[in-house]
């Protein structure tokens, strides 16, 4: 049975098509939206999704995308769709404070890979900068991207950490992510800034993500580690939607929410399924572990509903993307890392 080939345009359309729930919620969000750190893996598609939701709702609202602007493909795509792109090094305090005052902020700026040996840079981006941003936009509603890495590795039988579980960051990257949260929490408790802490566990875009990493290893004949046997992930289109809708749930004191999919997916089972689609047998190494970084996203499902694309579909799409020659962002997740070293 023939199928439609994957293209960059098709993927971008899927990632940026708003749900009815988002269209209704975008009407309730008062004021413009500014995305800080919009040039990363998720930022461009989030900006596009917000703009399309605004257009579909038939309302007037600006979307600002603020980043260093190093990715010309993403910058051109956003500008072509009516998004106001602002080139800015956020660590330049003068330029940060010169940004326009906007009622709604989605804070996506952060640094992870390359931390080892350059810890000061990661702390500067993940802890110093958030303090400045929280001060600059103290009157705004702010969705703050954080990481499920601030939780400890837990046994599989637990079902993952909930928002009420004690955080226990492992390594300097995870520690700096917690520092980011605390900076915005300080603003919420001191200035009354409304904040939504968005603890993400593995968003999947067919150009990068855990599924891509496993499929890529299969194609290259590289072994897949089973030391971390399971993981959670979520379709990036849904993850972006929840971030935008999260503006309505920002509060003082802060609201905290785990953002990921409902499934706990076996690395081995997923690799075997990918191998079937790709026509190549996966190679495994290490004994199967009994614990992993897992988040319980029950609260997310209750508030926002289930992701629009289930795990099984994403696994199939990922194989098709690679078979069709789809490009990579060349940003491995290093999902196997268990000691907090990035």
- Say which CATH number the domain at 27 has: 3.40.50.720
Asked whether residue 181 is domain-assigned, the answer is: yes
Asked whether residue 221 is domain-assigned, the answer is: no
Asked whether residue 315 is domain-assigned, the answer is: no
- Residue 1 above 60 pLDDT? no
Number of domains comprising the chain: 1
Tokens standing for 250? 């920002």
- Residue 157 above 70 pLDDT? yes
Asked whether residue 196 is domain-assigned, the answer is: yes
CB atoms within 10 A of CB 222: 13
Nearest Cα to Cα of residue 207 among 46, 328, 302, 40: 328
Over residues 247-273, mean pLDDT: 97
Give the dihedral of Cα atoms 294, 208, 96, 64; nearest 10 deg.
-110
173 Cβ contact list (under 8 Å, min separation 6): 112, 115, 122, 126, 149, 340, 342
- Residue 73 above 70 pLDDT? yes
DSSP H helix total and E strand total for the chain: 13, 15
Asked whether residue 298 is domain-assigned, the answer is: yes
Q: Residue 259 forms beta bridges with which residues?
A: 200
Query: How far apart, in whole angstroms, are the C-alpha atoms of residue 56 and residue 79?
Result: 18
Q: What is the mean pLDDT of the chain?
A: 94
Please report, rounded to a whole number, the percentage of residues in the chain having pLDDT higher than 70. 98
- Residue 331 above 70 pLDDT? yes
Which DSSP letter does residue 246 get? Answer: G
Asked whether residue 317 is domain-assigned, the answer is: no
E strand or H helix at 129, and its extent?
helix 129-136
Domain containing 122: what range? 8-205+233-261+294-310
CB-based burial of residue 162 (10 Å sphere; 0-12 exposed, 13-18 middle, 19+ buried)? middle
Asked whether residue 64 is domain-assigned, the answer is: yes
Asked whether residue 213 is domain-assigned, the answer is: no
Q: Decide the pairing of beta strands 154-155 and 291-292.
A: antiparallel
Instruction: Tell me the three state secondary structure of residue 191.
Output: helix
Nearest Cα to Cα of residue 232 among 327, 143, 300: 300
Output the CA angle 98-103-104, nearest 5 degrees.
100
């Amino acid at each position: 049975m023939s199928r439609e080939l994957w293209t960059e345009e098709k993927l971008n359309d899927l990632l940026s098509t708003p749900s009815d729930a988002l269209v209704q919620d975008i009407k309730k969000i008062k004021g413009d939206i500014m995305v800080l750190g919009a040039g990363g893996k998720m930022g461009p598609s989030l900006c596009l999704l917000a703009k399309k939701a605004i257009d579909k709702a038939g309302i007037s609202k600006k979307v600002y995308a603020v980043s260093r602007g190093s990715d010309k493909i993403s910058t051109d795509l956003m500008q072509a769709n009516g998004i106001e792109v602002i080139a800015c090094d956020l660590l330049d305090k003068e330029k940060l404070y010169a940004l326009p005052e906007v009622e709604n902020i989605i804070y996506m700026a952060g640094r992870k890979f390359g931390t080892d040996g350059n810890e000061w840079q990661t702390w500067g981006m993940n802890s110093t900068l958030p303090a400045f941003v929280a001060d600059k936009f103290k009157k705004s509603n702010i969705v703050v991207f954080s990481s499920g890495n601030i939780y400890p590795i837990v046994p599989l039988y637990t079902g993952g950490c909930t928002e009420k579980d004690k955080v226990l960051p492992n390594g300097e990257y995870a520690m700096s992510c917690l520092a980011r949260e605390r900076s915005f929490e300080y603003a919420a408790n001191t200035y009354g800034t409304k904040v939504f802490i968005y603890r993400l566990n593995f968003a999947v875009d067919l150009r990068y993500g855990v599924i891509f990493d496993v499929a890529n290893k299969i194609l290259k004949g590289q072994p897949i580690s089973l030391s971390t046997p399971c993981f959670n992930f979520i379709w990036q289109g849904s993850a972006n939607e929840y971030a935008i809708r999260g503006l309505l749930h920002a509060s003082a004191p802060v609201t905290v929410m785990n953002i990921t999919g409902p499934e706990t997916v076996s690395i081995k089972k997923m690799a075997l399924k990918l191998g079937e689609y790709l026509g190549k047998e996966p190679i495994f190494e290490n004994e199967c572990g009994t614990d992993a970084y897992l988040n319980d996203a029950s609260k997310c499902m209750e508030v926002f509903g289930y992701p629009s694309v289930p795990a099984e579909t994403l696994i199939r799409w990922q194989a098709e993307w690679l078979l069709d020659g789809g490009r990579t962002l060349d940003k491995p997740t290093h999902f196997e890392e268990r000691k907090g070293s990035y």
